[in-house]
Amino acid sequence: MQSPTPPAQEQQQQQHLVLRIRNSAHSHRESASEEEREDEEASRTALSTFRAKEEEIERKKMEVREKVFAQLGRVEEESKRLAVIQKELEAIADPTRKEVSAIRKKIDAVNRELKPLGHNCLKKEYKEALEAFNGKNREKAQLVNRLIELVSESERLRMKKLEELGKTVDSLR
């Protein structure tokens, strides 16, 4: 066989070049199309990831919000309980206040009666005055002892109430 003639060879080269260009264009289109698909898939993946993260952030935000509201509810309840305790604390009064006051008045009255009797005894004018003076002193001693008992009882009761309130406050923590 003879080799093709130069014009035929040229024509064959041109056809080969056209085929190469077509193949190249076709493969370029395929690769461009595949790149577009990959880009589109990457965009979808990125968008999907972004949405998932946004949903996660929103979910965590709601969880924190719920915790805050729950905590606020507890704080509100504890505030109310503390307000009640504060009122009780302010209301703690001496339960024996009236008795103590009455005994103090009696002591003052006995002291007023003792002064003139003491002066009479110093003058040694009356034996009866001395007996009255000693009697009033005994009465005064009894009243003072009763006063001490009442004050001790009052302190004990108030300390007990304060301890109860303190335990209540501690239980709020």
* Per-residue pLDDT tens over the stretch 89-135: 877 777 777 888 888 888 888 888 877 776 665 666 667 777 877 88
Residue (of 93, 88, 70, 71) closest to 168 by Cα position: 88
Q: Measure the CA–CA gap between 29 and 36, rounded to whole angstroms.
A: 10
Sequence-separated (6 or more) residues with CB below 8 Å from residue 130: 120, 121
* Per-residue pLDDT tens over the stretch 38-57: 878 877 887 888 888 889 88
In single-letter form, the type of residue at position 114 comes to L
CA distances from 150 to 31, 146, 160 (A): 104, 6, 15
Enter the pTM of the model: 0.44
Question: What ranges do the domains of the chain cover?
Answer: 40-93
